[in-house]
Amino acid sequence: MRTLPPVTKVPWFKTAVFYEVPVYAFADSNGDGVGDFAGLTERLDYLQWLGVDCLWVLPFFPSPLRDGGYDVSDFTSVDPRYGTLDDVQRFIEAAHQRGLRVISDMIVNHTSDAHPWFQAARQPDSPMKDWYVWSDDIAQWSEARVIFIDTHDSNWSWDPVAGRYFWHRFFDHQPDLNFDNPEVREAIKDVVRFWLDIGFDGLRLDAVPYLFERDGTNGENLPETHAYLKELRAMVDDEYPDKILLAEANQWPVDVVPYFGDGDECHMAFNFPVMPRLYMAVAQQDASSVIDILQQTPAIPESAQWGVFLRNHDELTLEMVSDTDREYMYARYAPDPAMKKNVGIRRRLAPLMDNDRQRIELLIGILLSLPGSPILYYGDEIGMGDIYLLNDRDGVRTPMQWDDSPGAGFSADPSAPTYLPIVDMPGYGPADVNVVGQQMDPHSLLSWVREILALRQRLPVMGTGDFVHAPADNPAVLSFERTDESQRVLVVANLSASPVTVNLKRRLETLTAMRGVAITDLETVSLPSYGFDWLVELPPE
């Protein structure tokens, strides 16, 4: 393999590969059938071996669990099912010892209705009344869309105790906090401080577009919301340098970019619109939708970074595509209507790709090449399946499959019933899909993922470089350059089932040689079915 230039120093999150993991889903150390921090800690050697850089743990706070833990009833403690605060600190220390960073989810917009703040606020004449958003008029703010359209038709719900309606952008058991109240703004800052003091390297701020509400607006991306996030950022810069805020804002690029501010708001934000277009491009065997959205995406501040992903703990959201494209995606990827959820599809990467290794690797390869820091979803590195018939989005949150035993090696007590069933779909059960088996097989998906992660680590340009479209003479070929002062990599991906040959008008050399890509002459690249490669240009002769 070619010698690469030395790696230059950049902010850690710009070259990091993230790994999203729900604590309950990874490993159960005490045999109660629910994953916990001690179990996750025991599995850190695996994540270090895999070669990811930063873990993102999903909410582990006390919760009635009516929304996968995003309904929090205490912001500053640990649900006893997952362990104790000491367990969290031990986990973070063990991760740091292995060179891994850890960020945590933090829910800012709302609480569970079981949270003591809401229980106090709903009481008549409560001094905490103004911590939440109340009204007598459910016609107020009707411009704001309803997000969970499968279960709700209004953002207001009646509270019989308060005798008023309360505002909720999500479930009716998740009342929105009132960010116009300075006490709420300070309380949330203190929650940020609490978890950064515990040792987390950053926080993923859930549902940030919806913090404030204003008359005559859709209640999304308001100036007041940006102003508050800038306050949070100033506090983090001041008190916790090197720690990050990652914004979850499922919005069009032009509306997400303001969440970076002038490098003074969130360090990172998810790039939602690019994600469904990757799936569309593979189905249509046409690269144009991916190129279009990347070219439409405005530049972001030098210090900021996109987070890119293929799948996560939610449905594959189709909010950021046209109605026509959404229907196409449903027809192609949700043949059973039960696979649909909200405005999206509740399936994992491998089943979406019909368990086809070539297409799974193609999408992971493209993900690792896109501008931004890639975020892998636990289990996708081994091609785990889903159980889409489970409630809500539980089907993509099933126990991690460690070995080929019936209990998948998930729990210290193999006979314990697990928090959700283990995947048993043909071809996806533990006997077919598990970590240990794939670790022993140098040709497994897991081995391939580990190999390409190791290669990407030597290509910081993938995290820091510019994106430059490099048109190919075939619409099925996605090709672009990632380039900075020290490195320049050409990404080529064949989105079609047929082998293609493209002339990229330059002399090239492969970096990966891992997918059968062959340089047939000095300028022409032959890509097999769903082939993918990283190439570097040779100097002129």
Binding residues vs Ca ion (CB under 5 A): 28, 30, 32, 34, 36, 109, 176, 210
Strand 164-167 and strand 156-159: the pairing is antiparallel
Minimum distance, C-beta of residue 124 to Ca ion, in the bound complex (Å): 23
Q: Is residue 248 among the annotated active site residues?
A: yes
Per DSSP, the chain holds a count of helices (H) and strands (E) of 16, 21
Long-range pairs for 113-120: beta carbons < 8 A, 24 or more residues apart: 113/71, 113/173, 113/174, 113/175, 114/63, 114/64, 114/71, 114/73, 114/173, 115/72, 115/73, 115/74, 115/75, 116/73, 116/74, 117/177, 117/187, 118/175
Minimum distance, C-beta of residue 273 to Ca ion, in the bound complex (Å): 23
| CA proximity to 232, closest of 285, 188, 290 | 188
Minimum distance, C-beta of residue 89 to Ca ion, in the bound complex (Å): 18
Residue tagged active-site, from 113, 206, 220, 381: 206
Calpha distance 152→168 (Å, rounded): 10
Give the residue with the Cβ less far from Ca ion, 18 or 410.
Answer: 410
Runs of H (alpha helix) within 162-258: 182-198, 223-239, 253-256
Give the residue with the Cβ less far from Ca ion, 179 or 388.
Answer: 179
**Contact status, residue 76 vs residue 65, Cβ threshold 8 Å:** no
Give the residue with the Cβ less far from Ca ion, 219 or 273.
Answer: 219
Minimum distance, C-beta of residue 226 to Ca ion, in the bound complex (Å): 14
Minimum distance, C-beta of residue 2 to Ca ion, in the bound complex (Å): 47
Give the residue with the Cβ less far from Ca ion, 228 or 530.
Answer: 228
Q: In what order do the strands lie in the sheet with 524-527?
A: 500-503, 524-527, 518-519
Residue tagged active-site, from 36, 172, 176, 248: 248
b/e map of 413-444 (b: 16 or more CB within 10 Å)? eeebebbbebbeeeebbbebbbbbbbbeeeeb
Place of tokens 């991690």: 400
Give the residue with the Cβ less far from Ca ion, 219 or 463.
Answer: 219
Give the residue with the Cβ less far from Ca ion, 188 or 257.
Answer: 188
Q: Is residue 206 among the annotated active site residues?
A: yes
Minimum distance, C-beta of residue 109 to Ca ion, in the bound complex (Å): 5
Q: Active-site positions?
A: 206, 248
